[in-house]
Amino acid sequence: MTPATESVSFDDARYQQFLAALLEGDRQQARAAFEGWLHEDRPIRWLYQDILQRALYEVGARWESGSISVATEHLATAIVDSLLNLVYPRLFRRPSTGRSVVVTCSVNEHHQIGAKMVADIFEMHGWRSYFLGANIPLEDLLKLINEKKPTAAAFSLTLYFNIDALIGALTRVRESHPTLPLLVGGQAFLWGGQARITGIPGVLMPAKLEDLEAWIDAHCR
Amino acid sequence: MRTAGEAALTYLASGQALVLQLTPGFVIREVNSYACRRLGITPEDVQGKPFEELLVDFVSSGDLMSFVDHDGPPRLLSLCTANRVPESFFFKFYTIPDGVLALGNLDVDEQRRLRDEVLSLNSELNELTRKLHQANAELEQLNELKDRFLGMAAHDLRHPLGVLITYTELLLTESRERLTGEEVGFLQDCAEAARGMARMVDDFLDVSLISAGRFAIDPAPTSCEDLLAGAMVVVRVLSDRKQVRIHVDNHAGDRMVIMDAPKVQQVLVNLIANAVEYSRPGQEVHVELRAGGGNLEVFVRDEGPGINPEDKERLFTSFEKAGTRKTSGERSTGLGLAIARMVVETHGGHIWVDSTPGVGSTFAFTIPLEPEINIAK
């Protein structure tokens, strides 16, 4: 996997150290490496996409290939989840655009970091994000959408075998909110599967965070 | 070829189970590598020692021996692990040809439940942290909005108030002989109300500047005498009307001090006016200026109701007032002392209050005689 944001210098050795710390469950080491990048004032998108997302995709690939256990993958994910807290003091100080988004992981989906990063990207662009944690019941999601009347709703899917639950959720939201823009993404679509989603009217699938940002910018004009 | 039992034992011994071979008297003969790693021991450390020595809680060997070849559930035993933290293992004891085989393992289901719970708690904590940051950012934005509103409102109110004060005073000066005594009284009340409102507006403006971090002082040499005289002109009207006598002791004389005179005067006026407003007719207020210890020291003492100890801490905070009431029901925004503190501290001084309920209060502040050269402009 190559880094996506080429404009920011990428130190592969440091990244490898960070990845090794995650795989060893060394929270302190991972935090120190991440704080180093924060002190260098690296862009949030770079931190999310070229460091955290990249590392998590790599951890996931190692789990799928059987070189690490589920427990190791869970621990690495938990460490990354806690690292996001270090970004928040920088993240939430953006002028508001008055727009909002509901971001969720859909039923059966326990992997929430991707969705949280998407919520944060919206915040970065001055949107108010309502982030629903992992495995939120569909009725709760619909209730929140009715209550908050967001500008858009975003869904994250990490494990492809949960796609039926996602399709069910998208269909229900589309029925009750025919014009609400629905955005879908996540690790599950790295190797295809988009066709099953794009059949639902008004569903967009930004492939990368840059594509998502381009959509956000276009929607703010 | 191994027997099924030997194969199972080999598997267990190389896996994540504690495997210990014991003598019939429960003395350790052999331990597997996992047990060594997990318990932080070497075979040499423990060979020939009683099995009981590995246990955190003393359990008699007689009791343990009753579990050999026992058909019931495994025996839960706590052992001290490599990181000196006790851990509970489920043990079964079997008779083997030359002694006893002890097999211990962790409850995997329990471990999994524990892991899931910790991960879930971690996740909840992270979500709450995110919400907290989000809420903090929103509150900060609202606070900035409030300060901007306060600043704009105050700024826009200043001009019409200025017009009101100027023309009322003009009428009082130029047309006094054509007005009845009652009409003069009305105009005086108007002018006083407008001046009071102007002071409030100035307070709001100061607070918005303080909150926005744009509060600055403009120091220049000022004589203590001038400072005091300027303040007395303002408060004398108030004290005369309330029949409160002000005693002034200026031991600093005409000593020159580098300060932002209008702002320090505002502090002095605020303290003296407060003292008057908390006094009853016939009581006295004492104002004293001293130059000593590198500071100009100012004391304003009243004979009012005093301040409760629990109110003293928050007195210098915006919108906080003492629990006691002013004696003629005078109104206040609760900003004066917060602004006074900011003015004094920006000069590098201190402000404080000593008070005894039922006896009176002394408000005091200091301004350095030789200011720090980095006073913000």
Å between B143 CA and nearest CA of chain A: 13
Q: Three-state DSSP class for B104? A: strand
Q: Do A133 and B136 touch (CB under 8 A)?
A: no
Q: Three-state DSSP class for B231? A: helix
Which chain A positions have a beta carbon within 8 Å of B126's beta carbon? 81-82, 84-85
Q: What is the ipTM metric for this complex?
A: 0.76
Nearest CA in chain B to A73: B119
Q: Do B123 and A74 touch (CB under 8 A)?
A: no
| DSSP at A158 | -
Tokens found for residue B211: 């909150």
Cross-strand partners of B298: B289, B365
pLDDT at A52 over 70: yes
Q: In this structure, what are the phi and psi dihedrals at residue B342, rounded to the nearest 5 degrees?
A: -65, -40
Q: Do A92 and B115 touch (CB under 8 A)?
A: no
Which chain A positions have a beta carbon within 8 Å of B141's beta carbon? 96
> At how many degrees (to 10) do helices B261-277 and B336-346 cross?
140
Nearest CA in chain B to A128: B134
For residues A116 and A105, give the distance between their C-alpha atoms in angstroms, rounded to a whole number. Answer: 9
In this prediction, residue B332 carries a pLDDT of 63
What is the pLDDT confidence band of residue A197, given thresholds at 50, 70 and 90?
Answer: confident
Minimal Cβ distance to A134: which of B123, B130, B137: B123
User: Which H or E element spans position A54?
Assistant: helix A54-64
Give chain B's contact residues with A (Cβ, < 8 Å).
Answer: 115, 119, 122-124, 126-127, 129-130, 133-134, 136-138, 140-141
For residues A105 and A114, give the distance between their C-alpha atoms in angstroms, rounded to a whole number. Answer: 8
Range A160-183 average pLDDT:
91
In this prediction, residue B324 carries a pLDDT of 58
Å between A99 CA and nearest CA of chain B: 14
| Residue from B357, B364, B354 nearest B305 by CA | B357
Q: Do A82 and B126 touch (CB under 8 A)?
A: yes
pTM of whole model > 0.90? no
Show pLDDT as tens, one digit a residue, over chain B (377 residues).
Answer: 788 878 887 887 788 899 999 999 999 999 999 999 999 999 999 999 999 889 886 555 557 888 888 888 888 888 888 888 888 899 999 999 889 999 999 888 888 888 888 888 888 888 889 999 989 988 888 888 887 787 777 778 888 888 898 999 899 888 888 889 899 989 988 888 888 788 778 877 777 777 777 777 888 899 999 999 988 988 887 888 889 999 999 998 888 999 988 889 989 998 999 999 889 999 999 999 999 888 999 999 999 888 888 777 778 876 666 555 666 555 566 778 888 888 898 899 999 999 888 889 999 999 998 765 344 43
Minimal Cβ distance to B123: which of A81, A88, A89: A81
Q: Three-state DSSP class for A201? A: coil
Cross-strand partners of B105: B90
Q: Do B122 and A71 touch (CB under 8 A)?
A: no
Å between A195 CA and nearest CA of chain B: 32
Indicate which of A70, A92, A104 best probes the interface with B, i.e. most B CBs within 10 Å of its own CB: A92
Instruction: Give me the residues of A, 117-176, that contact B with CB < 8 A.
Output: 123, 129, 131, 133-134
List Cβ neighbours of B243 (8 Å cut-off, separation of 6 or more): B281, B282
Q: Do B133 and A82 touch (CB under 8 A)?
A: no
In this prediction, residue A217 carries a pLDDT of 87
For residues A66 and B83, give the distance between their C-alpha atoms in angstroms, rounded to a whole number. Answer: 29
Spatial strand order in the sheet of B99-105: B28-31, B18-22, B99-105, B86-96, B75-80
List Cβ neighbours of A205 (8 Å cut-off, separation of 6 or more): A183, A184, A185, A189, A194, A197, A198
Q: What share of chain B is helix, strand, coil (3-state, %, to 5)?
A: 50, 20, 30
Angle at Cα A93 formed by Cα A90 and Cα A95, nearest 5°?
Answer: 145
Minimal Cβ distance to B123: which of A71, A96, A133: A133
Q: Which residue has the higher pLDDT, B84 or A211?
A: A211
Nearest CA in chain A to B129: A85
Q: Do B130 and A112 touch (CB under 8 A)?
A: no
**C-alpha pair distances (Å), A11 with each of A16, A17, A51, A159, B175:** 9, 10, 10, 30, 83
User: Which H or E element spans position B301?
Assistant: strand B295-301
For residues A105 and A111, give the distance between their C-alpha atoms in angstroms, rounded to a whole number. Answer: 7
User: Which H or E element spans position A142?
Assistant: helix A138-148
Nearest CA in chain A to B124: A133
Question: What spatial distance separates the first Cα and last Cα of chain B, rounded to whole Å?
Answer: 93
Q: Are strands B75-80 and B86-96 parallel, antiparallel or unpaired?
A: antiparallel
Tell whether A84 is within 8 A of chain B (Cβ): yes
Q: Do B133 and A112 touch (CB under 8 A)?
A: no
pLDDT at A157 over 80: yes
Tell whether A96 is within 8 A of chain B (Cβ): yes
Contact A11, A64 (CB under 8 A): no
Q: Which amino acid is at A37?
A: W
* Residue carrying the six token digits 């998590």: A56
Which chain A positions have a beta carbon within 8 Å of B134's beta carbon? 88, 92, 123, 129
Q: Do B130 and A88 touch (CB under 8 A)?
A: yes
